[in-house]
């Protein structure tokens, strides 16, 4: 073969003749290098910086697609057959129960890892310096993950599914202006029924995956375009050391994937996905709870007028979306909690939340009864506006305390406030899951 032919062969096939192993390796490498740059900053590989959370979320999405496609071969999205098709899959299909368990647990874990990934990005200032768009895209991904979980929840058509979705969509109808319309559109009528099941199935297996794949690809591409993972600014004479993606980054990714596969597999072998009795619209369980990741919202509804209970998380979501504008200081990127003082603010935020939130829940459950004290006032004010303003005022006070008494700067104070709000949301979720019994009364879980 003459010289120029060989060069073209190398260019087009990325290989030299007669070397199959080399050819496979180059094809694989090219696939990897479509996602990653050829070199990455060495500090960006530190596991204790990202905790691999974005990567773990990505791998979980992959598991979900693979197992989801397998489930589609057996599942029947009709009210008459959905439950029995799952029972059949669980008992008659080889590895059916295992595939369903992997799908179920990966989906639940993804809610946790995507949420923790958001916290990591916030704490290291990964949304700053040109990364605002990716932050917004990430938030959109988190909403997608919740939508995936919510639509998938209904599909087994058991008591758990039917009532969690009934409670969940009733929460949705409280969203101002559009809530009822969206709820009616999703349900295909006023109640959960055959149209709901068909709608949820189509959204779950076609609409959301298409949007998810596009949004995720854009998310990865932005990480690359934004110059890789956020890092502290190098000093004036410092140069950031770079290493090749293959093998340095790829071997970490493969290790994380292998460990994750093993953990999910073992967990799914020993803990099957739940399947309760067939859905019975005439017999709601007591308590009728939403899916666990919406229990924070359901808990909020026990304390506030529905309009306030929806406005509060929507306001917070708006605030989180605006964080790149609210916290533009750039010289603290890449440092967890921004600074030593920021770390103190975060610990303080966690402790304050662990104390304040249970106290507020107990106070409201047993002692405080504003509508009873002010019977002439509309409940929209006594159980809506007043608790909403009190909560927002508490946030403002915490921020002012950090600024004035703690002598923290704006960015550090926001860290404390953000951690306080996130911990409060987690505490409310735990109270909703474990400490609510019959008629949603407070109970001890043990």
Under the rule (CB under 6 A), what is the footprint of ligand HEM?
Answer: 50, 53-55, 57-58, 61, 114, 117-118, 121, 124, 126-127, 131, 134-135, 138-139, 141-142, 145, 216, 219, 223, 229-230
Which residue number, 50 or 199, has a Cβ lying nearer to ligand HEM? 50
Which residue number, 60 or 352, has a Cβ lying nearer to ligand HEM? 60
Which residue number, 159 or 423, has a Cβ lying nearer to ligand HEM? 423
DSSP string, 291-315: -GGGHHHHHHHTTS-HHHHHHHHHH
Tokens of 278: 């067939």
Residue 91: strand, helix, or coil: helix
Give the nearest distance from C-beta 147 to ligand HEM in angstroms. Answer: 11
Find out whether 63 and 106 touch, Cβ atoms under 8 Å.
Answer: yes
Give the nearest distance from C-beta 361 to ligand HEM in angstroms. Answer: 27
Find out whether 222 and 162 touch, Cβ atoms under 8 Å.
Answer: no
What is the distance in angstroms between the CA of the first residue and the CA of the last residue of the chain? Answer: 78
Closest residue to ligand HEM, Cβ-based?
Answer: 138
Which residue number, 142 or 388, has a Cβ lying nearer to ligand HEM? 142
Which residues, at least 6 apart from 278, have a Cβ–Cβ distance to it below 8 Å?
83, 157, 158, 159
Distance of CA 215 to the CA centre of its chain: 14
Give the nearest distance from C-beta 419 to ligand HEM in angstroms. Answer: 15
In which element (H, E) is residue 243 found?
strand 242-244
Give the nearest distance from C-beta 212 to ligand HEM in angstroms. Answer: 7
Which residue number, 65 or 278, has a Cβ lying nearer to ligand HEM? 65
Which residue number, 89 or 205, has a Cβ lying nearer to ligand HEM? 205
Tokens of 431: 């109270």
- Which alpha helices (DSSP H) does 124-178 contain, by range? 132-154, 159-172
Give the nearest distance from C-beta 114 to ligand HEM in angstroms. Answer: 4
Give the nearest distance from C-beta 352 to ligand HEM in angstroms. Answer: 24
Which residue number, 111 or 197, has a Cβ lying nearer to ligand HEM? 111
CA distance 50 to 40: 14
CA distance 303 to 437: 16
Residue in the structure block whose two tokens are 């460990």: 259
Query: Crossing angle for the helix pair 208-225 and 132-154, nearest 10 degrees?
Result: 160
Burial annotation 53-88 (CB, 10 A radius, 16+ → b, else e): bbbbbbbbbebbeebbebbeebbbbebeebbebbee
Give the nearest distance from C-beta 51 to ligand HEM in angstroms. Answer: 7
Phi-psi region of 68 (alpha: psi -120 to 50; beta: other; left: phi over 0): alpha
Find out whether 173 and 179 touch, Cβ atoms under 8 Å.
Answer: yes
Which residue number, 110 or 192, has a Cβ lying nearer to ligand HEM? 110
Give the nearest distance from C-beta 70 to ligand HEM in angstroms. Answer: 21
Q: What are phi and psi of 51, to 5 degrees?
A: 55, 20
Give the nearest distance from C-beta 335 to ligand HEM in angstroms. Answer: 12
Give the nearest distance from C-beta 50 to ligand HEM in angstroms. Answer: 4
Which residue number, 147 or 265, has a Cβ lying nearer to ligand HEM? 147
Q: What number of other Cβ atoms are within 10 A of residue 8's Cβ?
A: 9
Which residue number, 96 or 126, has a Cβ lying nearer to ligand HEM? 126
Residue 6: strand, helix, or coil: helix
């Amino acid at each position: 073969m003459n010289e120029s032919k060989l060069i073209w062969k190398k260019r087009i096939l990325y290989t030299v003749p007669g070397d199959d192993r080399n050819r496979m390796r180059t094809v694989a490498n090219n696939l990897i290098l479509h996602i990653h740059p050829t070199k990455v900053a060495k500090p960006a590989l530190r596991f204790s910086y990202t905790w691999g959370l974005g990567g773990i979320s990505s791998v979980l999405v992959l598991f979900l697609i693979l197992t989801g496609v397998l489930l589609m071969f057996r599942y029947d999205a009709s009210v008459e057959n959905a439950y029995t098709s799952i029972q059949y899959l669980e008992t008659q299909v080889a590895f059916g129960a295992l595939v369903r368990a992997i799908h179920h647990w990966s989906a639940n874990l993804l809610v946790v890892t995507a949420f923790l990934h958001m916290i990591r990005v916030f704490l290291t200032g990964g949304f700053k310096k040109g990364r605002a768009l990716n932050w917004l895209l990430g938030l959109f991904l988190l909403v997608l993950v919740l939508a995936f979980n919510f639509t998938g929840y209904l599909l087994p058509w058991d008591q758990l599914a039917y009532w969690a979705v009934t409670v969940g969509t009733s929460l949705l109808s409280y969203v101002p202006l559009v809530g009822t319309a969206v709820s009616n559109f999703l349900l295909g009528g006023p109640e959960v029924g055959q149209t709901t099941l068909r709608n949820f199935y189509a959204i779950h297996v076609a609409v959301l995956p298409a949007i998810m794949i596009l949004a995720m690809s854009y998310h990865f591409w932005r990480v690359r375009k934004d110059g890789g993972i956020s890092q502290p600014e190098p000093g004036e004479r410092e140069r950031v050391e770079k290493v090749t993606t293959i093998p340095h980054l790829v071997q970490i990714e493969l290790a994380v994937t292998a460990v994750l596969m093993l953990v999910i597999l073992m967990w799914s072998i020993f803990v099957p996905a739940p399947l309760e009795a067939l859905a019975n619209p005439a017999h709601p369980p007591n308590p009728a709870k939403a899916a666990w990741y919406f229990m924070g919202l359901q808990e909020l509804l026990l304390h506030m007028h529905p309009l306030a209970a929806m406005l509060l998380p929507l306001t917070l979501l708006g605030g989180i979306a605006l964080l790149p504008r609210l916290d533009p200081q750039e010289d603290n990127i890449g440092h967890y909690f921004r600074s030593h003082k920021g770390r103190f603010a975060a610990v303080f935020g966690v402790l304050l939340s662990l104390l304040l939130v249970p106290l507020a829940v107990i106070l409201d459950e047993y002692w405080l009864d504003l509508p009873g004290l002010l019977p002439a006032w509309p409940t929209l004010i006594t159980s809506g506006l007043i608790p909403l303003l009190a909560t927002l005022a508490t946030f403002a006070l915490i921020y002012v305390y950090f600024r004035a008494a703690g002598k923290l700067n704006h960015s550090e104070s926001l860290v404390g406030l953000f951690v306080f709000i996130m911990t409060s949301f987690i505490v409310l979720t735990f109270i909703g899951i474990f400490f609510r019994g019959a008629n949603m009364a407070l109970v001890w879980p043990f």
